[in-house]
Each structure stands twice: as structure tokens, then as C-alpha cells.
Copies of this chain bind each other. A is one copy, B any other.
Amino acid sequence: MSQHKPTTSLCRYTDTAIFYRDQNLVEELMPGDSDFVSVMMRHVLGREISRSEARIMHAILIAIMEHGLTPSAIATRSVYMSAPENLQGAVAAGLMAVGSQFVGTIENNARLLAQIVPLEADKQADKAREIVRDHRARKAHIPGFGHHLHKPDDPRAQMLLRMGEEESQARRHLDALKLLSTVVDEEYGRHITINATGATAALLGDMGVPVDLMRGFAVVSRAAGLVAHIAEEQEKPSGRYIWEVVDKAIPFED
């Protein structure tokens, strides 16, 4: 057997108490004006987050909770129609869509920012330009920029950036994103919006969230949105209609 003996710092419990890290769940975390988001962040990061960070996290989680009948919501509604006894499976199906094509761009953008942030100020612009030119040469989409719908600017991104400027103490990732944005506009010769995933990447980066963990918050937020879709599905079922519409829209062709 492996010599490596992992431990956990997340939770311990006795017959009469439960601790989240070093805090008593019932006596310290639940009562008063407890805040689920701050408790979650403390649990994930292992440190207390500031009032400013809490404001930003609430805004991020609200901003990416919902965007209508997305592939994620379609998957959830389709599964819920087929297995209504299994709400968690329907939510899980929709969460599986929190992948590379949409929310995964948070992490891809964060990886770009991580190349810029550690550099000295005068090297940052060069790196930003190198990144943009490289993407452009490969005709690759720059993660965190552009939105197929929200033009010229993604309003969620605008608001997140503004909150970041008001609230963020250590705004090195935010500054890197703004630098990258300036270079993007210069190199493409037109304005390309920073989108919600780009703004989220910068704000989470400034909070010290590891890049590979970032989509986790999209998972939590989207879970809330998908529960709302199921609530609506319980009142006004659409699953069978989605089936009919899609089946008709995609004809058989030999």
C-alpha cells in the first residue's frame, strides 16, 4: 500500500458537534446573519474572505446562474421528464454541460492572465501582445472575449469589472485582463467585449482561486439555476414538447 496517508481538513464531527475546518457549524456558522457564500468560500479556500470579496462572489454566482434554455437547461429538462423521481440526476445532467465550450473559458482565460500577472509592468504589454497575435495567427478564439449575443459589451462583464474596481484590493488579474482587452482591441482593430467568463476569471484570480478550481463556482451557481428550471418544469412541463420539437427539426436523411 502507498506510503502516502492523506488527511482531510474539511470536517470532523462528534456525537454532539460538527466542525467545518476549525469552526463549530452550529454555534459559529449557522446562527446570526450567516452567509452561505462566505461559508462556502472559507470552506474551499481555507481562509476568511473579506466583505469586498463576498460582494464579488455573490455577484459572480448571481451572474452565471441562468441564461434561459441553454444546452444545460435542455439536458436537465429532458432528463427530468424521463426520470422525475430523480431530481438530482436531472441537475447533474445539466451540470455536465459546464464544460470547455462555455464555462471552461473561465479557466482558459485565467491561464492567459497567469502568464501576464507575474511579469514586471513593462513586460506585461509585450506578453499580452504575444498572446493576442498568437491566437490571431492560429485564428483561435481568445478565451474570455467575445459573445455571440451580447454586443458590443456583455453587460454582466461590465458590472463585474466595475465591482472589481470598487472592491478588489489585490487587482493584479483584473489589471491584466484590462491590459489584454486593450491589446485585443488594438490588434483586431475593433472592440471585442470582455465576456462574463473573462471577468469572472480575473476576479477569482485576484481572490486566489486556483485556475483548475474556477469552474467549480459555475457548477454551484448553475445548480441553483437548474433547480429553478425543474421548479418551472413541475408547473409547466416542457420536456415532451422539447422532444417533439427537436425530433421534428432534425429529419432523417439516409
Contact = CB atoms under 8 A, between A and B. Distances in A.
The complex is assembled from copies of this chain, and their number is 4
Nearest to A160: B30
A125 interface: no
A189 interface: no
A117 to B, nearest CB: 20
Contact of A86 (B70, B89, B149, B160): B89
A240 B241 CA distance: 18
Contacts of A39: 62, 65
Interface in A235-254: 236-254
A81 B68 contact: no
B72 A8 contact: no
A2 B229 CA distance: 21
A91 to B, nearest CB: 5
A159 interface: yes
Nearest to A98: B88
Interface stretch (A18-26, A127-135, A136-144, A173-181): A18-26
20 contacts: A1-B248, A7-B250, A8-B68, A8-B69, A8-B250, A9-B232, A11-B67, A16-B150, A25-B63, A30-B156, A30-B160, A31-B59, A36-B58, A36-B61, A39-B62, A40-B65, A44-B224, A74-B78, A82-B101, A83-B86
Interface of A: 1-2, 4-13, 15-18, 20-22, 25-26, 29-31, 33-37, 39-40, 43-45, 55, 57-59, 61-63, 65-72, 74-75, 78-79, 81-102, 104, 149-151, 153, 155-156, 158-160, 163, 210, 212-213, 215-217, 219-221, 223-225, 227-232, 234, 236-254
